[in-house]
Structure 1
Amino acid sequence: MISIINSQNSTLAYFRQEDYDQMIAKGISKRAVEKGGVQALLKELGHSDPEIAYKETGQPYLVQKPGLFLSISHAKGWFAVSVGSEPVGIDIQPFSARLKQGQDYFRNERELTFAEDEIALHLIWGAKEAFYKWKEGQIPDLKEEVTLISASNERLVLEFESQQYELGFRIMEDVFLVFTL
């Protein structure tokens, strides 16, 4: 079942492809399954024949509506897209016990208080991924330049270049969804 979240400048949709593992086991390419999942979400958001292309920065966009902004995320059968009138970012990640082991890759010293909190670590990871997409990759050192300040009431506050930015999040089953509002 596809879920939709509307915000002031964007709409996002997400779902879990229940037969994802079976499709891959049957030999359907991962890329084809991922394309199908993204296409289904875009169609649900009203884009009847969505063709996706990519800017030099790697940012996806809808060929038929280049004035709109698009962000895509998928992981292990979960799919999420966000379409907006302003830049958007989205990340969807299943829970991974390995994330704690690799936290030094993405968590900076100011975020050290979150080092033992696996939920917070997943939110840091997702927030930085979504924020990077929101800023179209224009962040030279994501680990050090972007800091999670707080997480509460399905809202995350990040600091970047002495400014604060707010993102939304949802935790469903064992999956973390982070998105621009």
Structure 2
Amino acid sequence: MPLYKSISVNSQTTVKIWKIEESYDELMKPLDLRPQSLQRVLGMKSELHQRGFLSVRHLLREFGYTDPDLFYDKNGKPHLKDGKHISITHSFTFSGVIVSESPVGIDIEKQREKIGIIAHKFVDYEYNYLKETDEDYIRRLTVIWGIKESLYKLFATPGMLFREHFLVIPFMMKDGNTIAWIDYKNKKYRYNTAFLEFEGFTCAYVVP
């Protein structure tokens, strides 16, 4: 399947989402990968991961980039050679890329009940407005995880902890957006966040 969704966040920022329905061969055929990318994809044990990796290269093409335009720093954060900011995600059958003039982060997660079991590892402040008995508890937890994962990708700083350093301000599912804060080493950073749901998945992204 070609592009699943394109979102114009603002004049400088765009999100594109791919639904991965093609086979490995179909995804690989039109791509021109540099040797290290080819080595990386061939070294992946799971075809699901291979297809996720390749679908991200298709999303790059949707933005007008090629595989050599993308590189990673020592913390594993992706960058574009033209200096624009990029963040990348893939989960099962969806992948997403956000490109902006400003630092950004994106995450896609499959909505699963088991997130409730690990909630204590990434939720602290948010328990002030979350209740396990809420009908949309799992969906809201997935949004919180997605926002915090997006913040972590944006900052890419070893030592940051989801539970201690990231705060997601109260929100309702119908809102589709909220504010998030990073409180780290006596500095506070404020971010606008947005989220959407499709086919049992949640996508969240953050911009300053």
In the other structure, the counterpart of 2:179 is 157
Q: How does 1:7-86 map to 2 (within 5 A)?
A: 7-8=9-10, 9-19=12-22, 29-47=47-65, 49-51=66-68, 52-62=70-80, 64-65=81-82, 67-86=83-102
In the other structure, the counterpart of 1:119 is 139
Q: Select which of 115, 119, 132 maps to 1:103.
A: 119
Residues 57 and 39 of structure 1: CA distance in aligned 2, closer, same or farther (over 3 Å): same
Aligned pairs, how many? 173
Residues 165 and 28 of structure 1: CA distance in aligned 2, closer, same or farther (over 3 Å): closer
Letter in 2 for 1:5: I
Letter in 1 for 2:162: L
**Paired residue secondary structure (1:180):** strand
Give how far 1:139 is off.
5.8
Residues 122 and 43 of structure 1: CA distance in aligned 2, closer, same or farther (over 3 Å): same
**In the alignment, is the contact (CA less than 8 A) between 1:127 and 1:156 conserved in 2?**
no
CA distance in 2, matches of 1:28, 1:138: 27
Residues 20 and 154 of structure 1: CA distance in aligned 2, closer, same or farther (over 3 Å): farther
Letter in 2 for 1:146: F
- Normalised to the residue count of structure 2, the TM-score between the two structures is 0.75
Q: Select which of 125, 134, 143 maps to 2:154.
A: 134
Percent identical across equivalent pairs? 23
CA distance in 1, matches of 2:180, 2:157: 16
CA RMSD after TM alignment: 2.3
Letter in 1 for 2:18: F
Letter in 2 for 1:18: E
Give how far 1:79 is off.
0.2
Letter in 2 for 1:170: L
**1:2-23 deviation per Cα after TM superposition (whole angstroms, max 9, x unaligned):** 21111233211002212579x9
In the other structure, the counterpart of 2:31 is none
Gaps of 5+ in 2: 27-44
**In the alignment, is the contact (CA less than 8 A) between 1:6 and 1:12 conserved in 2?**
yes
- Normalised to the residue count of structure 1, the TM-score between the two structures is 0.85
CA distance in 2, matches of 1:20, 1:169: 28
